[in-house]
Amino acid sequence: MNYAIVVALGLLLAGCTAPLRGMRELPAAHVNITPPPDQAAVVFMRGKAGGSISTSLFDLREPPDQFIGILVYESRLLYLTTPGRTRFMVVGQSASFMDADLVGGKTYYVGVVLGGLGEETFELRPLRAGDLQQREARRCAETCAWLANTEKSQEWVRYQWSSIQRKKARYLPQWERRTNRPALLATDGR
């Protein structure tokens, strides 16, 4: 009987932390989305779409790819980076990409949304001023949890690195052939 209680308690506690996939939640009061003049801020937002499937984000500016973090259901992540041109990648069951032209001192918003192939694929969508007024974006801006990396999330990406790189190699050529590739424009910054 005692063993069953210990196992049940362990599963309950694991269930409380597993949804963050190694990330930790930050109090909103500790997140400043205004970058210094020599950096650009990118806020990645993921609403209700996709359920419990996690997505990982990367900056592909230069090798090696820079791990940004993991997003789960109803979460967001602040990424500070050098201004200029870059490409972001989201990895779930597949990989998708978005080019960006970032200006120092500006904050940009990106939606992590379900792709056209079902709940296992995600895409990055630039969120422009009008998009941020839409109900789902406003709701996420008010209620989605802020997440930050931990040693556990960094360890996860090291363990998954070869799988991530295989997805990048498989899906990037297809994405580059698209004529309607999403892009975050310099003018999208606020």
pLDDT digit string, tens, across residues 23-77: 999 999 999 999 999 999 999 999 876 666 789 999 999 889 999 999 998 999 9
Averaged confidence pLDDT in the chain: 87
Contacts of 105 (CB under 8 A, 6+ apart): 35, 36, 37, 38, 39, 40
Residue 49 is predicted with a pLDDT of 67
Which residues sit opposite 46 in a β-bridge? Answer: 75
CATH number reported for the structural domain that contains residue 153 in this entry? 2.60.40.1120
Residue 119's pLDDT band (boundaries 50, 70, 90)?
low
Say yes or no to pLDDT of 18 above 70.
Answer: no
- Residue 120 is predicted with a pLDDT of 65
pLDDT for residue 17 is more than 60: no
Q: Is a pLDDT exceeding 60 seen at residue 16? A: no
The answer to the question of residue 175 being in a domain is yes
C-alpha–C-alpha distance, residues 52 and 62, integer Å: 30
The answer to whether residue 2 is domain-embedded is no
Which letter, b or e, does each residue of 63-90 get, where b requires 16 or more Cβ atoms within 10 Å of its Cβ?
Answer: eebebbbbbbbbbbbbbebebeebbbbb
Structure confidence at residue 86 (pLDDT): 97
Q: What angle do CA 32, 141, 70 make, to 5 degrees?
A: 75
Instruction: For 131-164, write each residue's pLDDT tens digit.
Output: 988 988 899 989 999 999 999 999 999 999 999 9
* Domain annotation covers residue 3: no
The arithmetic mean of pLDDT across residues 83-105, rounded, is 96
Strands (E), 47-181: 55-59, 66-71, 75-81, 84-91, 95-102, 107-115, 118-127, 145-148
To 10 degrees, the CA torsion angle through 140, 146, 148, 150? -110
As for how many domains the chain has, the answer is 1
Q: Does residue 5 fall inside a structural domain? A: no
In a domain, 105, yes or no: yes
Confidence at residue 12, expressed as pLDDT on a 0 to 100 scale? 33
* Domain contains 38: yes
Token pair 């090291």 in the structure block, residue? 158
User: Cα–Cα distances in Å, from 103 out to 15, 90, 106, 128, 133?
Assistant: 40, 21, 6, 15, 22
HSE toward the beta carbon, residue 181, CA cutoff 13 A: 20
d(C-alpha 95, C-alpha 150), whole Å: 23
Residue 2: DSSP 8-state? H
Please check whether residue 163 lies inside any domain of the structure.
Answer: yes
* Domain extent at residue 86: 19-188
* 32 strand-pairing partners: none
> Within a domain: residue 8?
no
